[in-house]
Amino acid sequence: MSRLRARRMTTLVEVKGLTVRVGDRPVLDNVNFAMQPREIVTVVGPNGSGKSTFLRSLIGAVKPSSGKITRKKGLRLGYVPQGLRLDPSLPMTVDRFLSLPSPVPAETRAAALEEAGAAGFANQQIASLSGGQLQRVLLARALLNAPQLLLLDEPTTGLDQPGQAAFYRKIEEVRDTLGCGVLMVSHELHVVMSASDRVICLNGHVCCEGHPEVVAQAEEYRALFGTGTKGALALYRHEHTHHHHHEGPCDAG
Amino acid sequence: MLDDFLARAVLGAVGVALAAAPLGVFVVWRRMAYFGDATAHAAILGVALALAFELPIFAGTLAVAVVVAFMVAKLTGRGFGADMILGVASHSALAIGLVAVAFAQGPRLDLQAYLFGDILAVGKADLAVIWGGAAAVFALIAWRWRALLMATVSEDLAWASGGNPDREGRILMLALAIVVAVAIKVVGALLIGALLIIPAAAARPFARTPEQMVLGAMGLGCLASLGGLWGAWEWDTPAGPSIVCAAAILFALSLIAKGGRGA
């Protein structure tokens, strides 16, 4: 009982029966979810499965049609969007961008840029950054308030493979230094499997959920991601769990 | 000094340029050019209603501009194509306004003055409205400046940082309606959009921060106002269009200057 209570006290965010409709179409249907500190949770799912909508409802950008989202009192939130479509007519340096919507001390800005691997970008125009540089700047922005919960929406879109790997290592580092919970949406299944404590497989509703190994074996997961990814998954398991006898078809290896 | 019609014209034109600049940059950044046009065209309907109900022109144009701006925003937010809705609204508002003016018309109405402005007829009361409106737009935008910028950069980041970009959008619409209502006398409903966009566009190549772009748009807008009035005086051309011509020349010069620096 007291253990349960303690868990409730530390829960960063709790989602109960979340349903989001766009017009008549339910994008999310009765989603239940809770997030603890220091957890890295990844949401996977096919296109249009409501992954981004789920994240956007957690930041308050999407209003639930029904259900409830409860944040821990005074929760500090960091959000890294999929990218930033800044109109080229808007002049904006990285430093200025970090001071929106409220002023941030110069040392804090510099420290966040350093932490995110974006030191030296401060005076560059946002529009002149490459995809990878922009992602790091967006991460720096999310770190400014030392978040307790970090939300990332496909943060490595447009990065090459080494870039992706480096970015996810960075996220783990951040989790270790800040002790924050990390919730991210990702397409890179093999990376996801190695970096996450928990995987949620979403397709409008939660299909399956649990430890990456468990989810990878789940029928619902295999039904969604089909044979196309089986090779990659098998490859991953081959690399990271060192079971040298293959359990599935492993032609890709 | 205010007894001289030319002095009043200069003060009116400069006042409108100053009111338009801080809003014009947002119109450019948020790609609201067509939205601005739709709201400005609707002001003609406001003129007709003001005449019919014997209200001040300023009140009529402000009320109709607010209603149309919010109506269009509501419709575009409902999944209709924004461009399509704005096209429908912009032209319908103008046409309905012109028809309504024909119904409301007394012998004293000079429609051309509301389509293209009649700056040489700006009186002391008009000046009070223009400078009062400019002050209101300034106050609104200065008050919400960072939140407005945040919402313009990314609505999702604004939500995540505890803001409400929907509210900031409404504040911009209100500011737009005020600018339309104060500018109609000076440049007319058809050219208000130009006064919003062209000075901001001309300031863009020289700005590294949003604040610099606002200051540049204010400076260039005033320059265009003075230059346009001077041209109108010198060559006996209509004042409103002359001001927009001057702004267009400044924009062309800024493009050339930017090209020359290779920036």
Top-confidence range, A108-117, A132-141, B93-102, B216-225: B216-225
Interchain contact, A91 vs B146, CB within 8 Å: no
CA distance B172 to B18: 16
Looking at per-residue pLDDT, the higher value among A192 and A229 belongs to A192
Mean pLDDT computed over B53-63: 90
Per-residue confidence (pLDDT) for residue B260, from 0 to 100: 55
Query: Is B263 inside a domain boundary?
Result: no
Q: Does B157 touch chain A (CB under 8 A)?
A: yes
Alpha helices in chain A (DSSP H): 2-10, 51-59, 94-98, 106-115, 131-143, 161-178, 189-195, 212-217, 219-225, 230-241
Q: Is residue B179 part of a domain?
A: yes
- Using pLDDT thresholds of 50, 70 and 90, give the confidence band for residue A238: very low
* Residue B214 pLDDT class (50, 70, 90 cuts): very high
Paired residues of A152 in beta bridges: A80, A184
Q: Can you read off the two tokens belonging to residue B201?
A: 């566009």
CATH label of the domain that carries residue B49: 1.10.3470.10
pLDDT over 70 percentage in chain B = 94
Sort A162 into a burial class: Cβ within 10 Å, 0-12 / 13-18 / 19+: exposed
pLDDT at A3: 64
The predicted structure's pLDDT at residue A80: 93
- Residue B262 pLDDT exceeds 60: no
Residue from the list B28, B149, B156 with its beta carbon closest to the beta carbon of A81: B156
| Residue A42 structure tokens | 């990844």
Q: Which domain covers residue B102, as residue numbers? A: 5-192
Does residue B52 surpass a pLDDT of 90?
no
Of A222 and A130, the structure prediction assigns the larger pLDDT to: A130
A223-237, B98-112, B211-225: least confidently modelled range: A223-237
Answer whether residue B259 is part of any domain: no
Q: Residue A244: its pLDDT value, please?
A: 37
Residue A44: pLDDT over 90: no
For A153, the token pair is: 């929406």
d(CA B53, CA A142) in angstroms, rounded, equals: 54
B184 contacts: CB under 8 Å, gap ≥ 6 = B40, B43, B47, B57, B61, B114, B117, B192
Q: How far apart are CA B187 and CA B113, in angstroms?
A: 9
State the pLDDT confidence band at A6, using cuts at 50, 70 and 90: low
State the first-to-last Cα distance of chain A, in angstroms, to the nearest integer: 48
Residue B76 — pLDDT band, cuts 50, 70, 90? confident
| Mean pLDDT over the full length of chain B | 89
B159 contacts on A by Cβ (under 8 Å): 56, 59-61
pLDDT-derived band at A237 (thresholds 50, 70, 90) equals very low
More confidently predicted of B100 and A220? B100
Does B241 have pLDDT greater than 50? Answer: yes
What residues of chain B lie within 8 A of the CB of A100, using their CB?
146, 149-150, 153, 157, 161
pLDDT score for A31: 93
**Are A141 and B157 in contact (CB < 8 Å)?**
yes
Instruction: Supply the pLDDT for residue B107.
Output: 57
Residue A137 pLDDT greater than 90, yes or no: yes
Is residue A245 scored above 50 in pLDDT? no
Average pLDDT over residues A70-94: 91
Give the mean model confidence (pLDDT) for residues B173-196: 92
Mean pLDDT estimate for chain A: 82
Share of chain A above pLDDT 70, in %: 83
CB B212 within 8 A of CB B201: no
Q: What is the 3-state secondary structure (H, E, C) of chain B?
A: CCCCHHHHHHHHHHHHHHHHHHHHHHHHHCCCHHHHHHHHHHHHHHHHHHHHCCCCHHHHHHHHHHHHHHHHHHHHCCCCCHHHHHHHHHHHHHHHHHHHHHHHCCCCCCHHHHHHCCHHHCCHHHHHHHHHHHHHHHHHHHHHHHHHHHHHHCHHHHHHCCCCHHHHHHHHHHHHHHHHHHHCCCCCCCCHHHHHHHHHHHHHHHCCCHHHHHHHHHHHHHHHHHHHHHHHHHHCCCHHHHHHHHHHHHHHHHHHHHHHHCC
A106: Cα within 13 Å, side-chain hemisphere = 2
- A240 neighbors A194 (Cβ within 8 angstroms): yes
Q: How many CB atoms lie within 10 A of CB B34?
A: 18
- Chain A partners of B212 at a C-beta cutoff of 8 Å? 91
Task: Evaluate if residue B131 carries a pLDDT over 70.
Answer: yes
- Contact at 8 Å (CB) between A40 and A195? yes
Chain A CB within 8 Å of residue B213 CB: yes
How would you list the strands of the sheet with A25-35, edge to edge? A25-35, A13-22, A66-71
CATH architecture classification, A1-75+183-253: 3-Layer(aba) Sandwich (3.40)
CB pairs under 8 A between A and B: 72
Using a CB-CB distance cutoff of 8 angstroms, which residues of chain B are in contact with residue A59?
156, 159-160
B218 belongs to a structural domain: no
Residues on chain A bordering chain B, Cβ-to-Cβ distance under 8 angstroms? 23, 56, 59-61, 77-79, 81, 84, 86-87, 89-93, 96-97, 99-103, 125, 141, 151
The percent of residues in chain B predicted with pLDDT above 90, rounded, is 60
pLDDT computed for residue A4 by the predictor? 62
Strands A13-22 and A198-203 come out as unpaired
Partners of A208 in the beta sheet?
A: A201
If you average pLDDT over residues B45-65, what whole number do you get?
89
Number of domains in chain B: 1
> Closest Cα of chain A to B60: distance in Å?
33
Residue B6 has a pLDDT of 87
Q: Which residues contact B4 (CB under 8 A, 6 or more apart)?
A: none
- Judging contacts by C-beta atoms under 8 Å, the chain B residues touching residue A103 are 146
